[in-house]
Structure 1
Amino acid sequence: MLWPFTLIGGGAGYAIASIPGAMLGALLGQALDRRLHVQSLAELRERLAGRKVPRDDELIFILLGRVAKTDGRVVDGHIQQARVEMRRLDLSEPATRRAIAAFNRGKDGRDNLRVHLMRLKNQPHAAEGLLRACWRMAWADGRASRGERELIVSWGKWLGWTAEKVEALSATEDEQRSRSPASSGGEYQEALRLLGVRSDAEPAQIKRAYRRLLSRHHPDKVAGSGASPVQVRDATEKTRDLHHAYAVVRERRGFR
């Protein structure tokens, strides 16, 4: 990782006072990099161009906006899918407003997304969540176009994934989409069963059950307890099922 102010400070220090100056300049530059959270020269250029570094809950919607606009036109299915993702993440009202702004920001296509995605290269679970959401957006209009596929695969490579692994996520998301439409009564009952709540449960009770299960099965928590790769993968799938179940129940019951 090239810390820009560290490099600039080291170079300037060397020019002024040789090696001792370089060491002092690099230390001062590193302190500035950490304070400003600047991790690369490309990110510094983004800052200087006036592009605000997105929060984690904004980055996903910037990506979704970019996917939706890939073929030149955002259709109603894309808008509906963005709303589904907002419900899936259980966003607060301020976070929802930020997500809408981020989605629109993604559509303009001016962000250097490589800068932001490279920061998640060592966070496999966060990376998988982003890629899955992008595939769901790609399939929102009933098909994942060649342009959308190439875009998501390129993002996966920046995250450290192989093209084959990224494409495999597309297949699983399409299979789930075709297998379980949100309007299905059977799916609603299955979602209630997975969350462990009754059909007459209050929204607050459903939300508590969802969060309790999410905390218990989150892959990061399972991985931290020394679980095997298979157990972590199972936890990832369980977490995805919980997200989907909660989204189904919220849509059917009409609560935030």
Structure 2
Amino acid sequence: MWGKILGALFGMALLKIPGLFIGLLVGHWFDKAYGGTFASRGGFNGFSRDKSEAQGIFRYNTFAVMGHIAKSNGVVTQSHIQQATVFMEQLGLTATQKQEAQAAFRHGKQADFPLLEQLAEFKSAYRTRPDMLLMFLEIQISTAYVDLNLSSAEQKILTQVASALGISGTQLEQMLGRYEAEARFTKSSSSGAADAGNRLKDAYKILGISSDSSEAELKKAYKKLMSQHHPDKLMSQGLPPELMDVAKQKTQDIQAAYELIRKQGG
């Protein structure tokens, strides 16, 4: 019915009476072809539920795939369990949400965990939100690196995740290099362990540019990454509220790297 109503209104607005009949025909075709699916999702009211549903899918798949990566080497280490626990605390999950996250983590550890099926569902929910797909992969990369080492089994799963989400192998390698640089950069910021030269090298890797990049290239890379990880933008795309701090930390690292490079250049 919605197809006919909207078709008639738009048709009449554009082409008066002839448009009314054309709109009715197009609307009838829509109702017949897609009306059932549209209605089953609650019509226009369904749009208000989509975001909540997508957030639930993001949360569940995040912890399920974390569990799958944790078990990839045969035994779940204490580091992986601690990371998942700390992550839940950092996100400020409610008691119910923690139980759901723990159940998802256990599901991911099972030998018959349908990784590709879960990722297909996840990609379907976020198919128009590429920044969210990248955010998801970044979280899984942090899981794989929890013991400061990336095993072949963990690498294989990350490759499967990236491929299922439509992220190229080249882009995955860049993300892995960027994560390692961010980890060193953040650590050196708090401990002063790295010398200025190595810290600057990591800053360039975080922004994905080389030391001979121009000022224009630096600004372009900075703006692109800030846009990709901006908390408000990700929130509007379906990022669960409790993951806002993760996004904020990413933007802080990007900002710090950018400022260091500009300071060095000046």
Is 1:110 matched up with 2:114?
Answer: yes
Larger Rg: 2
Q: In the TM superposition, what is the alpha-carbon distance from 1:78 to its structure 2 partner? A: 0.6
Number of the residue aligned with 1:84: 86
Q: In the TM superposition, what is the alpha-carbon distance from 1:149 to its structure 2 partner? A: 1.3
Which has more helix, going by share of residues? 2
TM-score w.r.t. the length of structure 1 is: 0.54
Give matches, 1:1-256, under 5 Å. Answer: 26-27=33-34, 29-31=36-38, 34=41, 55-108=57-110, 109-111=113-115, 112-119=117-124, 120-181=126-187, 230-236=222-228, 240=246, 242-243=248-249
Number of the residue aligned with 1:43: none
Q: In the TM superposition, what is the alpha-carbon distance from 1:55 to its structure 2 partner? A: 2.6
Deviation per CA, 1:16-60, whole angstroms, max 9, x where unpaired? xxxxxx987644542465359xxxxxxxxxxxxxxxx96321111
Deviation per CA, 1:155-211, whole angstroms, max 9, x where unpaired? 1122221111112212222233344459x5779xxxxxxxxxxxxxxxxxxxxxxxx
Structure 1 contact 153–163 (Cα < 8 Å) conserved: yes
Cα distance in 2 between the residues matched to 1:125 and 1:23: 31
Unmatched 5+ residue regions in structure 1? Answer: 1-21, 37-52, 188-227, 247-256
Cα distance in 2 between the residues matched to 1:32 and 1:128: 31
Structure 2 contact 230–251 (Cα < 8 Å) conserved: no
Deviation per CA, 1:71-129, whole angstroms, max 9, x where unpaired? 22110111111123223433223222211111111111135223223222321221122
Cα distance in 2 between the residues matched to 1:245 and 1:88: 17
Number of the residue aligned with 1:18: none
Number of the residue aligned with 2:263: none
In the alignment, residue 104 of structure 2 is paired with which amino acid? A
Cα distance in 2 between the residues matched to 1:148 and 1:28: 43
TM-score w.r.t. the length of structure 2 is: 0.52
Number of the residue aligned with 1:219: none
Cα distance in 2 between the residues matched to 1:229 and 1:143: 28
Q: In the TM superposition, what is the alpha-carbon distance from 1:133 to its structure 2 partner? A: 0.9
Root-mean-square deviation (CA, aligned residues, Å) is 3.7
Q: Quick one: percent identity of the two aligned structures?
A: 21
Cα distance in 2 between the residues matched to 1:243 and 1:61: 19
Cα distance in 2 between the residues matched to 1:115 and 1:35: 23
Cα distance in 2 between the residues matched to 1:136 and 1:185: 20
Unmatched 5+ residue regions in structure 2? Answer: 1-28, 44-54, 194-219, 232-245, 253-266
Question: Residue 121 of structure 1: SS of its match in structure 2?
Answer: coil
In the alignment, residue 173 of structure 1 is paired with which amino acid? Y
Cα gap change, 1:121 to 1:153, in 2 (>3 Å): farther
Cα distance in 2 between the residues matched to 1:137 and 1:23: 44
In the alignment, residue 223 of structure 2 is paired with which amino acid? Q
Structure 1 contact 85–133 (Cα < 8 Å) conserved: no
